[in-house]
Amino acid sequence: MQTLISVIIVVVIFFVIINLSKTWRTRSKQPNYNKHLVPKQLNLQREVILEDAESRLKAGLPKLFVKQLKGRMLEKFPRMSESEFDWKFFELKRYFMMTAIMKSVPMYSDSVDDIWHEMLMFTREYQEFGEKFIGSSIHHAPHSSTASSPNPGERAWFEWVYSQLFAATPYTGVIWKGFFRNPLDTTRIEELRLMSEESLVSRLFNQRTVEQYPEIRSAVSLLIAKAKRQISGAEHNETYDEAQPSRGTADFMPYMAGAMMFHSFQNDNGFEEQMQQYSSEDEHKRDPASTGDSSGYSCSGWDDNCADNGSSDGGSSSGDSGSTSSCSSSSCSSCGGGGD
With vertex at residue 55, the alpha carbon angle to CA 208 and CA 108, rounded to the nearest 5 degrees, is 65
For 125, how many CA atoms within 13 A lie in the half-sphere containing its CB?
16
- 246-266 per-position pLDDT tens digit: 888 999 999 999 999 999 998
Phi, psi of 240 (to 5 degrees): -85, 105
Question: Rounded to whole angstroms, how far apart are CA atoms 192 and 177?
Answer: 26
- Averaged over 65-76, what is the pLDDT? 98
For the beta carbon of residue 222, count every other beta carbon within 10 angstroms.
16
Burial class (CB in 10 A: 0-12, 13-18, 19+), 50: buried
Report for 22-36, 169-183, 202-216: range of highest mean pLDDT? 202-216
**How many residues does the structure list for the chain?**
340
Residue 104 has pLDDT above 70, yes or no: yes
pLDDT band at 146 (very low <50, low <70, confident <90, very high): very low
The pTM (predicted TM-score) of the whole model is 0.80
Which secondary structure element, helix H or strand E, spans residue 33, and what is its range? none
What are the beta bridge partners of residue 335?
107
Question: Rounded to whole angstroms, how far apart are CA atoms 203 and 199?
Answer: 6
pLDDT band at 188 (very low <50, low <70, confident <90, very high): very high
How does DSSP classify residue 244? P
